[in-house]
């Protein structure tokens, strides 16, 4: 067990693609934690999805040795949707390494994560990465860091995570500048679980940071929030392979396996103490609030229970999404899930399909609305089908975002135009330097949720970056657009949209369905309606079999008689016939494009 003054706990924070995972690779390499033969890029990113997309989704911890010190490094995600993971890892640290790309400079997430670190009173060691690039401008970016974040330019280290230049000096700076953890090894045990995942052979594996006291193998432990007791089967540290140890002292970060099978008993933010001598519970984490909702339904109806179990297991590893059962006339039984953002939604859905071998249909994303009824009730509505009829609604309020956008100065006009077209309201505009501008806008979440990020990137050739935070609710003129097939409402296609956009949404959905729904033996009208008013219509034309082909010339009345007979048959069929919609129609129509 290392003494407190020889331990340092730190996290790496940065904007997406500024080189966090590459820096973590170099730290593992130069400290000898991983030998050269086993080294691979993105070493700590263990999920296939992370490696394919080149992004970090889950925080990962690892212990490395440097200059007689034990350093615990926690690698964090950079994407705005996973800010919750970052806040959790910061709770286990005393300092952070802030990485800024020497060619791109400060981006929106750099600011957001930096403020998060300052809120937690953490020491910040700033460094400029990618100094080996021809486009690198370390002096300009260091001056930008000094003017925006107040970190003196001469204290900003210059490194290249790719070549390893300056990485040793960075580790020395971590030891020098980041304070040692505080803790009392003679006090009652207090440890914080900051992450967990489910291993099918060993049960729940939790990442823990010991604050006070000592955790020992085979010790009986109390989990305060869950109110349960378990014995520590194995404790150890990740170097980066799990290495069992006899005990973990104060300030140390490691893992705990206690044979827990129920995924709810070792949630992130849980406090672990010794049985019989319970310490005080530690501050956990604020529960993240889901911002985007969508329905997830199994393509095979009988896979509902399987989906429920898979969601339970995945929620242990990613506690920031929520789910509750719901039913749909068109899609059967499924779950209404809440996510932190669109990328988060996409990742969770893809993980369910890959890790648990499910086939899923996801409905169009929606957000949470506050509805005040004429009877004076306040309702929370995040499923369009549960919106009351227009006559019973006093007003609907929609969630707003406070969005910070950083962009090169030449794109100022296009960004203003984009935000205005999404009902945005400008709060401020500030030049951080002659080339870079910071905008602050207030935008409705519903306008951001579909494709705002893509539109922003394509209009600024990828140079703009954004960060957002929730900003309360505002009343708005919103209506529910229903889609009807042959006069019957299909709830899977309902959406709550702004009144000005309702006609466009209705027309676009009707046109899309016209292409996707196969032709039937009778005409199928597709209608978009608000309340009782039809705002758009398309028709899928019926097959027409040529019933007169067996006639050869002759009297027209014979042809007419056969056609009338066919018409009567189709009319009868229409009165008893239902529209036959293959399941992949829903998948294609609900796919966001």
Residues annotated within a binding site? 17-22, 129-132
| One-letter-per-residue 3-state SS of 488-502 | EECHHHCEEEEHHHH
d(CA 96, CA 460): 30
The DSSP string of 496-556 is EEEHHHHHHHHHHHHHHHHHHSPP-SS-EEEEEEETTEEEEEEEEPPP---TTTT--SS-H
520: nearest Cα among 577, 569, 584: 577
Q: What is the SS3 assignment for 104?
A: coil
The strands making up 332-339's β-sheet, listed across from edge to edge, are 322-328, 332-339, 292-298, 360-362
Q: Which tokens go with 570? A: 């189709």
Binding annotation for GTP? 17-22, 129-132
Beta-bridge mates of residue 439: 405, 429
The position carrying tokens 């992004």 is: 55
3-state secondary structure 455-498: HHHHHCCCCCEEEEEEEEEEEECEEEEEEEECCEECHHHCEEEE
Q: Beta strands of 303-383 (E only): which ranges? A: 322-328, 332-339, 360-362, 369-373, 378-381
Phi, psi of 443 (to 5 degrees): -130, 145
Instruction: Provide the strand spans (E) within 114-189.
Output: 123-129, 157-158
Strand order in the sheet with 123-129: 60-66, 69-75, 7-14, 95-101, 123-129, 157-158
H, E, C per residue of 255-318:
EEECCCCCHHHHCCCCEEEECCECCCCCCCCCCCCCCEEEEEEECCHHHHHHHHHHHHHHHHHC
What is the DSSP-derived secondary structure letter of residue 181? P
Cα 215 to Cα 129: distance, rounded to the nearest angstrom: 38
What element of type H or E holds 341?
A: none
Cα(102)–Cα(98) distance, rounded to whole angstroms? 12
From CA 523, how far away is CA 509, in angstroms rounded? 18
Cα four-point dihedral sign 377, 378, 384, 386: negative
């Amino acid at each position: 067990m290392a003494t407190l003054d020889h331990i340092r706990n730190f996290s790496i924070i940065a904007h997406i693609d500024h080189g966090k995972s590459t820096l973590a690779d170099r730290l593992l390499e130069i400290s000898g934690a991983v030998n050269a033969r086993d080294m691979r890029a993105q070493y700590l990113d263990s999920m296939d999805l992370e490696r394919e997309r080149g992004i970090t989704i889950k925080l990962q911890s690892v212990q490395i040795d440097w200059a007689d010190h034990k350093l615990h490094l926690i690698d964090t995600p950079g994407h705005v949707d996973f800010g919750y993971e970052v806040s959790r890892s910061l709770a286990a640290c005393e300092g952070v390494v802030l990485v800024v790309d020497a060619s791109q400079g400060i981006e929106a997430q750099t600011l957001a994560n930096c403020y998060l670190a300052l809120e937690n009173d953490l020491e910040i060691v700033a460094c400029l990465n990618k100094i080996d690039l021809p486009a690198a401008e370390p002096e300009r970016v260091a001056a930008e860091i000094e003017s925006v974040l107040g970190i003196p330019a001469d204290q900003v280290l210059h490194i290249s995570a790719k070549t390893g230049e300056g990485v040793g000096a960075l580790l020395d700076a971590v030891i020098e500048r980041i304070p040692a953890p505080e803790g009392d090894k003679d006090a009652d045990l207090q440890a914080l679980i900051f992450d967990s995942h489910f291993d099918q052979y060993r049960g729940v594996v939790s990442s823990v940071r010991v604050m006070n006291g000592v955790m020992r193998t085979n010790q009986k432990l109390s989990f305060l929030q869950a109110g349960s007791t378990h014995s520590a089967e194995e404790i150890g540290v990740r170097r980066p392979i799990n290495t069992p140890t006899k005990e973990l002292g104060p300030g140390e970060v490691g893992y705990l396996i206690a044979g827990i099978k129920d995924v709810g008993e070792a949630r992130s933010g849980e406090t672990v103490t010794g049985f019989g001598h319970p310490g005080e519970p530690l501050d956990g984490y604020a529960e993240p609030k889901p911002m985007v909702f969508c329905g997830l339904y199994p393509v095979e109806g009988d896979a509902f229970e399987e989906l429920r179990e898979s969601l339970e297991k995945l929620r242990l590893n990613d506690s920031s999404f929520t789910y509750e059962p719901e039913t749909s006339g068109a899609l059967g039984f499924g779950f209404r899930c809440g996510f932190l953002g669109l990328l988060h939604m996409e990742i969770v859905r893809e993980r369910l399909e890959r890790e648990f071998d499910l086939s899923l249909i996801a409905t169009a994303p929606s957000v949470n609305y506050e509805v005040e009824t004429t009877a004076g009730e306040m309702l929370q509505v995040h499923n369009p089908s549960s919106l009351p009829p227009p006559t019973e609604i006093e007003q609907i309020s929609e969630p707003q975002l406070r969005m910070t956008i950083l962009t090169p100065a030449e794109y100022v006009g296009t960004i203003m135009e984009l935000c205005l077209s999404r009902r945005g309201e400008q709060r401020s505009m500030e030049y951080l330097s002659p080339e870079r501008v910071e905008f602050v806008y207030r935008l409705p979440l519903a306008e951001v949720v579909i494709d705002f990020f893509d539109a922003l990137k394509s209009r600024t050739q990828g140079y703009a970056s954004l960060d957002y935070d929730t900003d309360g609710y505002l009343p708005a003129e919103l209506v529910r657009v229903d889609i009807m097939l042959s006069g019957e409402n299909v709830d899977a296609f309902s959406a709550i949209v702004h009144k000005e956009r309702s006609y466009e949404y209705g027309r676009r959905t009707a046109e899309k369905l016209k292409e996707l729904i196969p032709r039937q033996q009778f005409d199928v009208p597709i209608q978009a309606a608000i309340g009782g008013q039809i705002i758009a219509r398309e028709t899928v034309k019926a097959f027409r079999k040529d019933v007169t082909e067996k006639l050869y010339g002759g009297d027209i009345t014979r042809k007419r008689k056969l056609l009338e007979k066919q018409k009567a048959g189709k009319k009868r069929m229409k009165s008893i016939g239902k529209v036959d919609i293959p399941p992949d129609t829903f998948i294609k129509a609900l796919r966001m494009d």
